[in-house]
Amino acid sequence: MERIPIIKIGKYLLVTVQTDVQDNVALALQEDLGNRIIATRARLVLFDISSLQVVDSFIGRVIADIAGIARLLDAEVVVVGMQPAVAITLVELGLTLNGVRTALNVESAVAMAGIRDPI
Partner 1 sequence: MTSNSTSPLVDQLRANYPSLLDSWIAGQKSAGASRPDLISDADLRRQCSELLTMLIEALASGETDISKPAWERMRATLRSVSMSRARGGWAPSETVQFVFSLKQPLFASLAAEDRAANSAVILELDHLIDRLGLFTADVYQQGREEVILRQQQELLELSTPVVKLWDGILALPLIGTLDSERTQVVMETLLQALIETGSTIAIIDITGVPTVDTRVAQHLIQTVSAARLMGADCLISGIRPQIAQTIVHLGVSLPDVVTKATLADAFVAALDRLGRHVVSNGQASASGR
Q: Identify which of residues 37 and 103 has a Cβ nearer to partner 1 in the complex.
A: 103
Q: Identify which of residues 33 and 80 has a Cβ nearer to partner 1 in the complex.
A: 80
d(CA 69, CA 61): 12
CB within 8 Å of 29: residues ≥ 6 apart? 3, 4, 6, 15, 21, 62, 66
Torsions phi, psi of 74, nearest 5?
Answer: 65, 35
Total residues at interface with partner 1 (CB under 8 A): 20
d(CA 74, CA 54): 29
Binding of partner 1 at residue 75 (CB under 8 A)?
Answer: no
Residue 2, SS3 per DSSP: coil
According to CB under 8 A, which one of 2, 72, 91, 117 is a site residue for partner 1? 91
Binding of partner 1 at residue 16 (CB under 8 A)?
Answer: no
Binding of partner 1 at residue 30 (CB under 8 A)?
Answer: no
Residues lying near partner 1 in the complex (CB under 8 A): 79-84, 86-88, 90-92, 96-97, 102-105, 108-109
